[in-house]
Structure 1
Amino acid sequence: MDPSFYNYTNPQDMWYVLTGIPGLEDLHIWIAIPICSMYIVAVVGNIFLIFLIVTEHSLHEPMYLFLSMLALADILLSTATAPKILAIFWFQSMNISFGSCVSQMFFIHFIFVAESAILLAMAFDRYVAICYPLRYTTILTSSVIGKIGVAAVTRSFMICFPFIFLVYRLKYCGKSIIPHSYCEHMGIARLACDNIKVNIIYGLTVALLSTGLDIVFIITSYTLILCTVFRIPSWSARFKALNTCGSHICVILMFYAPAFFSFFAHRFGSKTIPHHIHILIANLYVVVPPMLNPIIYGVKTKQIQDRVIVFFSSISTCC
C-alpha cells in the first residue's frame, strides 16, 4: 500500500505498551519474584565488589580495575531494565513514552557494547599476564587502563548513538504494542509503517563488526594463552595459569551466549522459537549475568576471597 494512505503519528506524541512476556501474563507476579531477588543481589554484589577494589590498595591491579568497570556496567544494565520489568509484572505499569522507550533502547545497547569491550580488555589483560609476565606492569599501566576505559565508552557511544536517529527517522501510524518487557532497537523499528531495511542492516553490522569482532579477538587471545600454557613444563604452573582465566571464561560465556541467542532469535527465529521463551531469556539476561559475575569472581579469585573475609571479620570485631 502507498505510504501516503497512512495517518502518520508524531513520535513525540506516541506512547507504547510493553506487554511483558506474551503468553505468561498469569505468571508475571511469580516470575517477578526471582527477577527482583536477582536484581537486588546484582546491585548489592557489584557495588560491594567496586567498594573492595577501590578501597583495597592490593587490588589496584589491571585485572581488578577492569573488573570494577565490568561491575559498574552490570549495575547500569540491570538498572536500565529491571525496575521497568518489575513495574510491568507487579503493577501493570505498561505504558512508556516514545522518548523514554528510545532512551532505554540506547542505554541497553550502549552498555552491552561497552561491556563487550571491557571483556575484550580483560582477555588482553590475561594474555599479557600469561604470555608476557615480565612486561605486564610496563604494558598495562594506570594510564593505559584509563585510556582503554575511555576508548570502550567512546566506541560504544559512536556505535549506538545512530540507533536514535534510525528510529526517529521512521514514520509511525499508530501501532503501539511492544510484545516485550523493555525497549530494543528492532522492537521499536518493527512498529513503523516504513521501510526498516536500513535499521536491520545497521543492527546486523553493529553485532558483527563490534561485538562479533570482540569475540574473534577474545578467542584469539585465549588461543595464544593456551599455546603458551601448554609449553609450561610444570603441571602445577599450567593449572595455576589456567585457573586465573577460569572466572573470565565463565563470565564471557554467560554474557555472549544468551545475548546472541536473543539477537538472532529476534531477527531469524520468530517462527521456530516460541516468543515467550525468547522474551523470558531476554529478561533473565539482564539480571542473571550481573548477579553471577561478582559471585564467580569472589569464588574463583583468592585475593577477593581474602579481602571479603578480612572485611567481614573487621565488621564482626567492631560489633
Structure 2
Amino acid sequence: MTTRAVVKGVGHYLPERIVPNAEFEKTLDTSDEWIRARSGIERRHFAAEGETTSIIGTKAAQAALNDAGLSVEDVDAIIVATSTPDLTFPSAGTMIQSALGMKRGFAFDVQAVCAGFVYALSNADAMIRSGQANCVLVIGAETFSRIIDFTDRATCVLFGDGAGALVLQAQEGAGTPEDRGVLATDLNSDGSYRELLYVDGGVSQRNTGYLRMQGREVFRHAVEKLAQTAHCALDRAGLSAGDVDWIVPHQANLRIIKGTAQKMGLSMDNVVVTVQDHGNTSAASIPLALSVGKQRGQIKQGDLLVTEAIGGGLAWGAVVLRW
C-alpha cells in the first residue's frame, strides 16, 4: 500500500471588481482587440482597497473546506503560494491560519511566483507521504494589482487578483497509476533567467518595485519548458499524454496554453481554460482553474489531471494527480 495525497475539496474567491479590457483604453494606447489577440484575456478582477492577499486566501480556503465537508480542526498544515503577501512578515499562511481560527499545526508561505502553487502542492504531497501531516490546506493567493506599473501596456493588462485552494488528505492507495491523489511531481528552476521576469524592488532595496517582463523570451521558454516538465512528471507516474483527461495549466496567456497542448499532442478540448475571465493570477491561477473546472462539470472524480506552470526565476514544474 502507498500513502497518497488525495484532493478532498476545492474552492476559490475572486474580488468583486471586474476590470474589462476596455477600461485600459482610457489611459493607455491599447484596445480590447489588441489585448485579446495577444493574450486571450477579456477581463480580470482587482482587489478592493484593504482587501489583502490573506483576506482573499482565507475566503478561498473556507470554500475548499466547505467543499470537502471538513473543518479547520481537521487541518494539520497550511501552505500558501504567493508573491504578494500582506506584509514582509509574518507569512500570509499564519495570517490565514489565524483568520480561520486554527490553533494547532503549522503554516508557511512558498514563493515561486507563477509556479508557486505547483511547488506548494509538491511540498504538501511530500509531507503527507512522509506522515508529517494528514491533512494539508494548499492555497494560491495573489494581489498582483499592487505591483503592476499601470503605464506599461505590455504587462499591466495581463494580470489580475484572486485565490484558490485545495484540501489534501492522506489516503491509502495500491501504489499504481490508478490510485487517486498526487501520482508524481517535477520541479525545476534556473536563476540565470532572472531578467526575463522580475520585480524591480524589494525589502533590502527599500522599495516595493513593479513587475517587469520580457514577454517574447518568456513565451519562448514557457511552451518548451511546460511541455517538458509535464512529460517528465507523467513518465515518473508511469503514464503518457494519451492517458490525460485534463491539462489544468497556469493561466498566463492563451497562446502559451495552446502551444503547450499542441506540444503534448493533446486537443484544447482536454484543457481547462479560465484566462479569459481572470487574466494571469500567478500562483492562484491553477487552483482557481481547478475550482472553476469542477464547478463547470469538466473535472470529475477519477479523471487524470496534469497541472503545469512557469514563473519568475525562472521556476517551473508539473504535478500529475488523479482527481
Higher alpha-carbon Rg: 1
Higher strand proportion (structure 1 or 2):
2
Higher relative contact order (CA 8 A, sep 6+): 1
